[in-house]
Amino acid sequence: MFIFSIFGLAGLFIINILFGMYHGFGIRHYWFFELEHFLGGFFVAMFLSNFTNSVIFIFVSLAVITFLWELSEYLISRFRKSEKYMKKTFHLKSVATSRKDTILDIILNFSGAAVFIIITFLF
């Protein structure tokens, strides 16, 4: 499961950069980034389960990772140079974040992790 989780996370990251951001698929299709957050939570939980069987540890670790990810999104949108770089590099119209988007991202991350935990630990 370790290798599968690594490939899953790396694949999500590459798909996000190439299709979601650079080619604008995520902007044209609202569900793209939501699916990525759900699968991201799923694969992070899968990765962490290789090191522990503690559901609490997995969720706390996911909370830290989610916080850092959302913080980076917020900081990119707040600093002019990083915002300009992201817009130019990935041909984005906007990198603005909203409270609604952040809350949805957090819910989807934890939902993906919960699905993995239910599938793995309860069956």
pLDDT band at 10 (very low <50, low <70, confident <90, very high): very high
pLDDT at residue 26 is higher than 80: no
Indicate the residue type of 81. K
Q: What is the mean pLDDT of residues 25-40?
A: 88
Sign of the CA dihedral 6, 44, 8, 11?
negative
Answering whether pTM is above 0.85, one says: yes
Q: Do 43 and 5 contact (CB within 8 A), yes or no?
A: yes
Residue 29 corresponds to which tokens in the numbers above?
């299709």
